[in-house]
Amino acid sequence: MTRTNFFDLSCPSPVPDRETVQLAHGGGGRAMKQLIDEIVRPAFQDPELDRGHDGALLDVNGPLAFTSDSYVVRPLFFPGGDIGSLAVNGTVNDLAMCGARPLYLSVGLILEEGLSIDTLRRVLASTRGAAVATGVRLVTGDTKVVDRGKMDGMFINTAGVGKIVAPSKIGPESVRLGDVVIVSGDIGRHGIAVMAAREGFGFETPIASDCAPLAAPVLALINEGIATHCLRDLTRGGLASAAVEIAESSGLAIALEEQAIPICAEVKSACELFGFDPLHVANEGRFIAFVPQEDAARTVEILRRWPVGKNAAIIGAVEESPRGRVTCRGPLGVRRAVDMLSGEQLPRIC
């Protein structure tokens, strides 16, 4: 199969555009196969994909975690990441939050006609790089092209399977009165980085997204016997949404200490400038852990071994009341209620 005739079949009009993704007119089956065989499959390099079958055949013993997410971030590239690394890390992190070792991912690509092949190649290389970094395999996928103007460059859907390695159930139902709340690092970088890239703001000190895989630090907590009751990554809606969701599901109160929540100076000033509460700003490489008091110090120590966890800190505790609610004590000692935002502070952030 030669690369030179790649777009001839997909675009029968006078001059085939060899640099962009084309809608498959008429003989679309062949054109799509070429897009997949020449661009997508070689980028992912997995023997399961190379079999060219309808699905991946996996040999996995349970119990398993299974999750799926779609990524529509705008712009496609931002400081610290891009839609490809985000699509892998986001799903890998959801598996990790279930106490699972991420094993296999599917990658569904939805491409807009006219997307440059160079952009596609860059995103696929980054997708593959993120998978290699976590040791997860991209074993199945799908590619669709839609009409120009009907979407925004590209969207990605990933689904992931992981093997549960935690000895007991990790989730809101396992949160206990007296548990300590630990955040794995400073918050708010991803949301501010994407917003700055989208709006063209240049900060004096550029803020990079925290987009990163969290499986390694989470597996270390489990391997080292930390009684990990609940984990939640702080994605859309930030720390506030994650804490409120867990308070509501567990029926317990979460009391946060504002002074203890790590936020870098750059994110703090950006939030002041734009009127954002950093508790609501999205992250893509941060999580909170609920562990018993006696494991708290060791949890922080383990997390700090990783660059992604170097600012890990104890930020609060689980109390009895107000049931199902989150509060945050400010610098003057006054406790305020923390809630989710009714809408989205920054749409298309992930």
List residues binding Mg ion (CB under 5 A). 94, 233
Nearer to Mg ion, 119 or 283 (CB): 283
Q: Which helix (H) or strand (E) holds 298?
A: helix 296-303
Please answer whether residues 350 and 90 qualify as being in contact, where contact means their C-beta atoms are separated by less than 8 angstroms.
yes
Please, which residues have CB within 8 angstroms of residue 75's CB and are 6 or more apart in sequence?
194, 197, 198
Q: Sign of the CA dihedral 222, 228, 229, 232?
A: negative
CB of 288 to Mg ion, least distance (A): 11
- Judged by beta carbon, residue 98 or residue 317, the one nearer Mg ion is 98
At 194, is the secondary structure helix, strand, or coil?
helix
In the bound complex, what is the minimum distance in angstroms from residue 166's beta carbon to Mg ion? 16
Q: How many CA atoms lie within 13 A of 271 on its CB side?
A: 19
Q: Helix 117-134 and helix 83-97: axis angle, to 10°?
A: 30
Whole-number minimum distance, CB 67 to Mg ion, in Å? 8
Asked if residue 282 lies in contact with residue 235, where contact means CB atoms within 8 angstroms, the answer is yes
Q: Which is nearer to Mg ion, 94 or 266 (CB)?
A: 94
* Residue 111 Cβ vs Mg ion, minimum distance, rounded to whole Å: 26
The answer to whether the beta carbons of residues 107 and 48 sit under 8 Å apart is no
Least separation in angstroms between CB 313 and Mg ion: 20
Count of all residues that appear for the chain in the document:
350
Q: Answer for the pair 263, 187: CB distance below 8 angstroms, yes or no.
A: yes
* 3-class DSSP assignment, residue 276: coil
CB of 305 to Mg ion, least distance (A): 23
